[in-house]
Structures are given as structure tokens and as C-alpha cells.
């Protein structure tokens, strides 16, 4: 455990260091023309009321994801409290934001759920279903943009369009893979055996036979949970509805920032369409939080929306709320939750047997 913890800490530190370098490089490029003084002057004229609305939508985003996870886990017979769901959402956001391709969020989320006595079979199934629904909603919004808001897609250059279609295809592959893992017992067993064999070869798994036996027992519970989900459509529809609200809350932040900058030519649906294009384009890129790529796509798509004078302030404030504020909130929650776990373990260790 100690060595694993050290390795995890090193990876965390490296991810943060890489993210910091990306942030410095990105803002150096963004501010080369207007400078920090020009940025501050532009932001200083923003209307605070609209910014508060944008800020509040980040909390809605976290709450909705937490509720989606909580509803799935509860339906599988392992109820967790609302605040625990909020914690899982923050954990997912934080570790996804600092790791390439958002790869770190779900594994760490599973770890924290296990600390709350949620079985791996239930937590793994919950995270897989949440991923499927989350990406289905993005795919649905992407199709809506192509049909109803196609002028924004056509306004993007060939690079943005190529990234969009790449993200679209990759999201479909991820959805198909998750569904196979959820509902194909044969596929998940083969995958599990392959992981155990690899783990044994690199000496991470010391008892392959015992691990296989325990894992197959968990897979039986997992399969039962998958059957439950397949036959309880109402719960899945509720999760889908909450996830739609979550995505729209995140994508609506750009609209309130746009109004805060004193502009009003374009409406809410325009901003949601543009944010959908950005999300689809950078969703599967191997960059922490899409850092750099997100700003680049934003600059291309929003140039005519904001104009050259307000483009950078609009970008910085939008990303400041939907990414950096999210990082701040989620990091505070992660630290507080880790402290809670450590205190609980110390208290249990100090009790006489």
C-alpha cells in the first residue's frame, strides 16, 4: 500500500506539473496581443450578476453528476447520501481534468466509493452506465447541432470539423465498449483474465488463481446488476434526464459570460451549439482537460461572436468558470474527503479490539 501510494502521489504530481506547463503556455499565447492589463480592463467591465449565474451552474453540474451516480448505486441496493454523490462527481472532475484523455477520474472515483463500502461490482457498473449516458447525451447534442444549428459547424474550419467527427466516432466506440462490458459476460470475463495475466507477468498480481476466483465472484454480482439495469428503464431514463440537465448547465455557462460582456446578438441555443462543438472536438484528445486545444477551438469558433477586442476576455472568463473554478471546487472537496477518510481510519485503528 505504501509503495502504491507513493507511485500514485508521483503520478498525481507529474499530472499537475504537466497541466501547469500547459496553462502557462496557453495563456502566454492568448495574452501576447492584449496583455494582462488589457484583459483586466475588459473583464472589469463585465456585469457581475450574469457571472454569478454562470458560477452557480458549475454547482448544478456537480450536483447533477452526483445524483446520476447516486441513483444508479442506490438502484443496485447500495444507497449513498446526496453529499457522497457530490463528492464522487468532484473526484471524477478533478482527476479527469488533470489526466490525459480524462483517464484518471473513474479509477479514483471507484477507490473512494470502496471507502464508503460500495462493492466494486456496483460502483464499476454505476460508473460504466454513467459514462454511457454522459456520452450519449453529448452524441445527441452533436446530432442536434448538425441538424438544427449546422451553420456553426460549417463556420468552423476543416480542422475543427475533422476533430468533431473524430470525437464523434471515438465516443461511439467508447459507448459500444462500455455496453459490451456491461452486458456481455463473455467479453468481460476474457478482459478480466487478460488483465490478471498481464498483472501476474509484471508481478502486480501475486496470486492469480485466488484473484481470478474473487474476480469471477464479483463478476457474478456485476452480471446480476447489469440484468437489473437492463430491465429497469425508468431508472435509466431518470439518469439520462439528470445528465441532460448537467450537460446543458455546463454548456450554458458560455451564454451568461457572453451577456456579462455586454453582448446580446446571439441566443442561448447558439452558445450551447458552440460549446457542444468544442466539447465533441476536444473530448477524446490526450490532453488534461483539453488544455490548449479547447482554447484554440474556442478562438476559432467565437471570433465572429465576440470580435477581436473581447475574444480573449470572453474565453478566459468562460474557461475560468467551466474549468478552473471546477478544479478549485473539486480539489477542495477531494482534500476534505481524503481528510475524512484518514481521520476515520485513525479512529478505527486507535479503538481497542
31 within domain boundaries: no
d(CA 62, CA 329): 10
Mean pLDDT for all residues in the chain: 80
Q: How far is CA 114 from CA 13, 34, 217, 330, in A?
A: 23, 48, 17, 19
13 within domain boundaries: no
Angle between helix axes 120-148 and 268-282 (nearest 10 degrees) is 120
Residue 290 backbone class (left: φ over 0; alpha: ψ -120 to 50; beta: rest): left
Q: How far is CA 221 from CA 76, 182, 225, 319, in A?
A: 10, 12, 6, 41
Q: What is the pLDDT of residues 288-299, one digit of tens each?
A: 656 667 888 888
Q: What is the pLDDT of residues 145-182, one digit of tens each?
A: 999 888 888 877 788 889 899 989 988 988 887 777 67
d(CA 25, CA 20): 9
* Structural contact between residues 84 and 349, judged by C-beta atoms closer than 8 angstroms: no
8 within domain boundaries: no
Q: How far is CA 43 from CA 51, 190, 254, 289, 309, in A?
A: 11, 54, 14, 23, 11
Q: What is the pLDDT of residues 272-320, one digit of tens each?
A: 999 999 999 887 676 665 666 788 888 889 988 998 888 888 888 898 8
28 within domain boundaries: no
Report residue 348 CA to chain centroid gap.
33
d(CA 102, CA 241): 23
All residues at 6 or more sequence positions from 164 whose CB lies less than 8 Å from its CB, including other chains: 142, 153, 156, 277, 280, 281
* Structural contact between residues 285 and 21, judged by C-beta atoms closer than 8 angstroms: no
All residues at 6 or more sequence positions from 105 whose CB lies less than 8 Å from its CB, including other chains: 91, 92, 93, 94, 95, 96, 97, 99
**Predicted pLDDT of residue 24:** 63
Number of domains in the chain: 1
Q: Which of 134, 76, 80 is nearest to 112 (CA)?
A: 80
7 within domain boundaries: no
308 within domain boundaries: yes
Residue 57 has pLDDT above 70, yes or no: yes
Give the whole-number percent of the chain exceeding pLDDT 70: 74
Give the residue ranges of DSSP H helices in the chain.
Answer: 2-30, 35-44, 48-75, 82-97, 105-115, 120-148, 150-155, 158-183, 185-201, 208-231, 233-260, 268-282, 293-319, 326-350
67 within domain boundaries: yes
Q: What is the pLDDT of residues 174-223, one digit of tens each?
A: 888 777 767 776 766 776 677 677 667 766 567 777 777 766 666 666 66
Domain with 200 in it: 46-342
Amino acid at each position: 500500500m505504501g509503495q502504491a501510494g507513493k507511485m500514485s502521489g508521483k503520478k498525481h504530481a507529474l499530472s499537475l506539473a504537466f497541466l501547469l506547463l500547459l496553462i502557462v503556455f496557453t495563456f502566454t499565447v492568448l495574452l501576447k496581443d492584449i496583455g494582462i492589463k488589457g484583459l483586466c480592463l475588459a473583464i472589469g467591465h463585465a456585469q457581475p450578476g450574469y457571472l454569478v449565474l454562470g458560477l452557480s451552474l458549475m454547482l448544478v453540474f456537480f450536483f447533477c453528476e452526483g445524483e446520476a451516480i447516486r441513483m444508479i448505486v442506490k438502484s443496485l441496493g447500495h444507497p449513498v447520501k446526496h453529499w457522497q454523490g457530490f463528492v464522487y462527481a468532484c473526484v471524477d472532475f478533478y482527476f479527469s481534468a488533470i489526466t490525459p484523455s480524462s483517464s484518471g477520474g473513474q479509477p479514483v472515483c471507484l477507490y473512494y466509493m470502496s471507502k464508503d463500502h460500495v462493492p466494486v461490482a456496483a460502483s464499476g457498473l454505476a460508473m460504466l452506465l454513467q459514462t454511457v449516458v454522459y456520452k450519449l447525451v453529448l452524441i445527441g447534442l452533436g446530432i442536434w447541432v448538425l441538424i438544427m444549428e449546422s451553420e456553426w459547424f460549417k463556420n468552423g474550419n476543416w480542422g475543427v470539423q475533422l476533430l468533431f467527427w473524430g470525437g464523434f466516432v471515438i465516443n461511439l466506440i467508447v459507448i459500444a465498449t462500455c455496453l459490451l462490458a456491461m452486458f456481455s459476460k463473455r467479453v468481460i470475463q476474457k478482459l478480466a483474465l487478460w488483465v490478471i495475466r498481464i498483472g501476474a507477468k509484471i508481478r502486480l498480481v501475486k496470486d492469480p488463481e485466488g484473484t481470478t476466483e474473487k474476480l469471477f465472484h464479483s463478476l457474478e454480482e456485476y452480471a446480476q446488476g447489469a440484468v437489473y439495469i437492463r430491465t429497469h428503464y425508468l431508472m435509466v431514463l431518470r439518469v439520462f434526464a439528470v445528465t441532460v440537465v448537467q450537460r446543458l448547465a455546463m454548456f450554458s455557462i458560455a451564454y451568461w459570460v457572453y451577456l456579462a460582456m455586454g453582448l446580446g446578438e446571439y441566443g442561448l441555443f447558439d452558445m450551447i451549439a458552440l460549446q457542444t462543438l468544442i466539447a465533441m472536438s476536444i473530448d477524446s484528445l490526450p490532453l488534461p482537460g483539453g488544455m490548449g486545444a479547447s482554447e484554440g477551438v474556442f478562438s476559432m469558433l467565437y471570433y465572429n461572436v465576440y470580435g477581436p477586442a473581447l475574444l480573449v476576455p470572453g474565453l478566459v472568463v468562460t474557461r475560468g468558470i467551466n474549468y478552473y473554478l471546477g478544479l478549485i471546487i473539486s480539489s477542495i472537496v477531494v482534500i476534505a474527503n481524503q481528510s475524512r477518510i484518514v481521520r476515520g481510519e485513525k479512529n478505527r485503528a486507535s479503538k481497542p479490539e
